[in-house]
Structure 1
Amino acid sequence: MNLWKAMGTIGGLTMVSRVFGFAREMLMSRIMGASGAADAFLVAFRLPNTFRRLFGEGAFSAGFVPLFSQRFHGPGGMEEAKKFSEEVLAVFLPTLFVFTLVFELIMPLFVSAIASGYVGEKYDLTVFLTRITFPYLLLISLVSFFSGILNSLTRFAAAAFAPALLNIAMLAALLIVPDGGVRSATALAIGVTIGGVLQLILVWHGARKAGVSLRLRKPQITPSVKQFFIVVIPATLGAGVYQISQLIDTFFATRLPEGSMSYLNYSDRLNQLPLSVIGTALGTAILPQISRFIARNEPDEAARVQGQAVELSMLLCLPAALALAIVAGPLVTAMFEGGRFTVEDARITGNVLAIIVSGLPAYVLVKVITPGFYAREDTKTPVKTAVIVLVANIVLNFALIPPFGIYGLAFAIAACSWLNAIMLYLILRHRGHFRLEAKIWWRIARQLLAGLAMTAALWGTRSLLTGWFDGSVGHRLLGVAILVAVGGIVYFVVAWTIGAINREDVLILLRRKKAA
């Protein structure tokens, strides 16, 4: 499969989801503001999402997709792959049920440990909302299971579009209960669970259309399930270390002044757009391809795919990071300021965003580099690097948060992402599995040069549009649109002129479209 095409499918549909997500966040900021109820909901939403990333996405995909691909492309074909899926599902489903039930019972203790800064009514509301949202963990983990099947079959559309249904459900909740406060927070929590149900229906139906109709088996630890656990348990531990780091960030954020969770959430939403559209899309697209080449004993082809992914990710990610840092203030003002979200709230959120995006290229590189381990069924190495990153994150939080508050937390997040990306790359290179060729380094250097030219253009344009960001929502959004257009045009014109873009790949893609 062409990497541009795969990324286009995943990234395009992810962009659709992100558009709905931004509509949700824009509405939520105006209805909820940076209030105690907003903070309580954001913690309640983050907790099942943290475990979702632990069980459902990174760890599960790392173990499931390569093993499913091996069976599907092996002599057993689809029947063997379906049998493997049924055996895994038979163990995975009851495990999720038990895990969800246990946490529903111990939720007060869990919330008091994670959000120790919340007391009284805010604590009680957080517990109540988290009990509503926590079943989303079970639902979205099953979504990840069926998405893994679809991605292994290189059918990316349903899985990429599924998150849009969550955003639509939450949007509907805000529109139905727009009064803010506890009632809106409760409606949002219910919307999260409904969104999980809709996502599961979509990917389950997509798998059936792809010819994968699974039946429920009696749970048994078969040789295939043992193999799956051997791969996935270290990946879960690795993801667990990372998610513990996320919980630690939540712990510190809840001890900061009211609104801090909201500032962190809204800045992270903008940071997540290029991360999801570029990093997640590329990571999802290349894992089945690298797994296939490794299974065929073609390591050079696997390295070529990974190198192409790094080059493409930096082509798109470097300008995104630079642009977000330069226009963070106007962007946050245009997107979120209004209603209960004040000018001061927007200013703080913009500053947090400008710091966090300094780690954006590293976030994306981690998504692109880790498939090089997972495709070789090596999930232990990312565990070791994740432990180092966790320790570094705790040290930086204790060192930076007392003097700098929420800004220190943002810097620690960005710095630890770079530490993780550099370690993972150096390990792959040391083992001889992957190294960036000189031509890719030179192209990335040219991409950075084009990004600096774009930065200068954005500074000048932002100065000319200063008054626009103090006007109506329409003026603010138009100002952002002009900044995006100017930045995009300058970057890609300069990048094409100085050779920062692999012209051969682009021309091949254009010729294929013309032929089609």
Structure 2
Amino acid sequence: MSDQQKASTDVASDVSPAPGLLRSSLVVGLMTMLSRFLGLARDIIIAALAGATAHADAFFIAFKIPQFLRRLFAEGAFSQAFVPVLSEYRRLKSFDEIKLLVNKVSGSLGLSVLIVSSLAVAGAPVVATVFAPGFVGQPEKFQLTVDLIRITFPYLFFITMTGFAGAVLNSYGRFAVPAFTPVILNACLISAALWGVSYFDEPVMALAWGVFVAGASQFLFQLPFLAQLKLLPRPEVDVHDDGVVKVITLMIPALFGVSVSQINLLLDTVLASFLPTGSVSWLYYSDRLVELPLGVFAIAVSTVILPSLSRKHADASKNDFAKTLDWAMRMILLISLPAALALLLMAEPILITLFKYGALSERDVSMASFSLMAYSLGLIPFMLIKILAPGYFAQQDTKTPMKIGIVAMVVNMVLNVCLVVPLNAYYQLGHVGLALATVLSAGLNAGLLFRGLYLSGVYQVQPGFWWMLLRYIVAVVIMGGALFWFLPPLDAWVGWGWQMRVLNMAGLVIGGAAIYLVSLFVMGLRLHHLRMSA
């Protein structure tokens, strides 16, 4: 057998049938839902432990920086650049060449992030000054933030390598393992909050060490699954390799294109450091609730469509590419429309039910509810960005999302100034202005991404789309009316114990979901309308 025939055989054996997109999305969504619910439990415990105090603000800053960089590098730009290249290698190259690419990308990426993490630990005061400049005038708060950053920042190295391993597994259709991995982070932080605090004078130090342990644990957890694919990397540093160069070339512009929403949220945190104590925490708690539907559904759909779109682009299947994007749009709107309205209508009851225990005060809940209502308005564009951006990345076009992302980020900065800086005593939106600025810039970002795909003909509205959207809207209006009618007054929520709060919230959530789904069923929507092969 010739070398060319052998390579062709290797490629053919490497390509396995992909499960349906709905099934894969459900697998990722269920694993992510488990992680997000554990994340909510984690935040409930942290809220009871630290509330919205100066110490809580310091921890959230120290935790949010590596988390942001994780989304930027591991789950964001790197994944969006690496998966299309790996998909192309699977179609066109031998297995040995694929393995060599994995080795060289892991070595080059690992060394780069190790250097960044080491510099951040050594220069923690500088990092704290850049990301929380408002803390500089508060010596105790600033020093605590510096100490916490030195503990949490190595998490970036471990979680980036975890993201690398997850990208390889996702490319091979092994979606469940990467989706389950974040459960380990939440389990470690819950353990630190419940049992680790007794070993430290400052409770949030235990949380910081929980972050460190979680990073290493998540990375080690995925290695056996890479070994099953015979792709356990032996890191090599070769930044001149064609595959590595291609990943880097695609990754640099993708840093802006895929992560503008996260950059805007981080800018909110930076500016919030200048606002009254508690502002960082209020934004954190409200952002976490928006992250639940965003993480469970949007990221699940985004995760499964990128390899699928990349394969279709490699096969020059333009019609199938457009159909996949259309399917993703329908799935996102199916979830984001009712979720956004529910968060808007029930913002304060949800926060009371989840967080108003221990150190978190009634005022803290009220202030967080305002930013949650603002963020809820942006849930639809937040989720759409997650599935529109892969439409570009699958074509190995990272420059267009980058340009759109820069425009959106500049608009966000301008809006931050306009909505946060008080013009008079009656115009002081504070942290709510930060949330609104992020929402408006996300709407612009999603709109420009959609416009580019539509005008280029990459996305084509498929038959039945507008009729299905009308069904969604009517069902959401019916659900919203029912929630508004049955929602108990705020005084009742405050007076109830946790059992009564949970019981009533569960009734509203389950009842609202049932009304929404029954309304869709009555209007003719069936499960087979949501299925699509990969």
Normalising by structure 1, we get a TM-score of 0.95
Contact 1:238/1:386 (8 A) holds in 2: yes
Q: Are 1:428 and 2:453 matched, yes or no?
A: yes
Q: What does residue 96 of structure 1 align with?
A: 113
Number of matched residues? Answer: 507
- Flag the 1:141–1:497 CA change in 2: closer, same or farther, 3 A: same
Contact 2:58/2:142 (8 A) holds in 1: yes
| Equivalent in 466, 489, 495 of residue 441 of structure 1 | 466
SS of the residue corresponding to residue 30 of structure 2 reads helix
Contact 1:32/1:180 (8 A) holds in 2: no
User: Is the deviation greater in 180-189 or in 137-146?
Assistant: 180-189
Q: What does residue 358 of structure 2 align with?
A: 339
Q: What does residue 133 of structure 1 align with?
A: 152
Q: What does residue 60 of structure 1 align with?
A: 78
SS of the residue corresponding to residue 73 of structure 1 reads helix
Amino acid corresponding to residue 83 of structure 2 in structure 1:
V
Q: Distance in 1 between matches of 2:372 and 2:127?
A: 29
Contact 2:272/2:280 (8 A) holds in 1: yes
CA apart distance, 1:467: 2.3
CA apart distance, 1:84: 1.0
Q: Distance in 1 between matches of 2:239 and 2:410?
A: 37
Contact 1:37/1:182 (8 A) holds in 2: no
The one-character-per-residue Cα deviations of 1:105-137 (angstroms, maximum 9, x if unpaired) are 222122112211112100000011011100111
The one-character-per-residue Cα deviations of 1:394-436 (angstroms, maximum 9, x if unpaired) are 1111111132111111111111111110000001111110033
CA apart distance, 1:180: 12
The one-character-per-residue Cα deviations of 1:58-110 (angstroms, maximum 9, x if unpaired) are 1101110011111123342x332211111111211111111111122222122
Amino acid corresponding to residue 442 of structure 2 in structure 1:
S
Amino acid corresponding to residue 108 of structure 1 in structure 2:
P
Larger proportion of helix: 1
Report 1:21-32 matches (<5 A).
Answer: 21-32=39-50
Q: What does residue 344 of structure 2 align with?
A: 325
Contact 1:53/1:239 (8 A) holds in 2: no
SS of the residue corresponding to residue 18 of structure 1 reads helix
SS of the residue corresponding to residue 404 of structure 1 reads coil
Contact 1:232/1:379 (8 A) holds in 2: yes
Q: Are 1:463 and 2:480 matched, yes or no?
A: no
CA apart distance, 1:250: 1.6
Q: Distance in 2 between matches of 1:22 and 1:32?
A: 15
Q: Distance in 1 between matches of 2:281 and 2:222?
A: 31
Gaps of 5+ in 2: 1-18, 422-427
CA apart distance, 1:442: 2.4
Q: What does residue 411 of structure 1 align with?
A: 436
Q: What does residue 165 of structure 1 align with?
A: 184
Contact 1:31/1:179 (8 A) holds in 2: no
Q: Distance in 2 between matches of 1:409 and 1:181?
A: 34
- Flag the 1:240–1:294 CA change in 2: closer, same or farther, 3 A: closer
Contact 2:200/2:206 (8 A) holds in 1: no
Report 1:236-247 matches (<5 A).
Answer: 236-239=255-258, 243-247=262-266
Q: Distance in 1 between matches of 2:44 and 2:399?
A: 40
Gaps of 5+ in 1: none
SS of the residue corresponding to residue 134 of structure 2 reads coil
Amino acid corresponding to residue 324 of structure 2 in structure 1:
V
Q: Distance in 2 between matches of 1:92 and 1:214?
A: 12
Contact 1:48/1:133 (8 A) holds in 2: yes
Q: Distance in 2 between matches of 1:181 and 1:428?
A: 53
Normalising by structure 2, we get a TM-score of 0.91
| Equivalent in 479, 484, 487 of residue 504 of structure 2 | 479
Report 1:7-406 matches (<5 A).
Answer: 7-76=25-94, 78-118=95-135, 119-178=138-197, 183-239=202-258, 243-402=262-421, 403-406=428-431
- Flag the 1:240–1:474 CA change in 2: closer, same or farther, 3 A: closer
- Flag the 1:180–1:423 CA change in 2: closer, same or farther, 3 A: farther
The one-character-per-residue Cα deviations of 1:472-507 (angstroms, maximum 9, x if unpaired) are 0111111110110110111010111124x354335x
Amino acid corresponding to residue 144 of structure 1 in structure 2:
G
- Flag the 1:366–1:198 CA change in 2: closer, same or farther, 3 A: same
Q: Distance in 2 between matches of 1:107 and 1:239?
A: 27
CA apart distance, 1:19: 1.2
CA RMSD between the two structures: 1.9
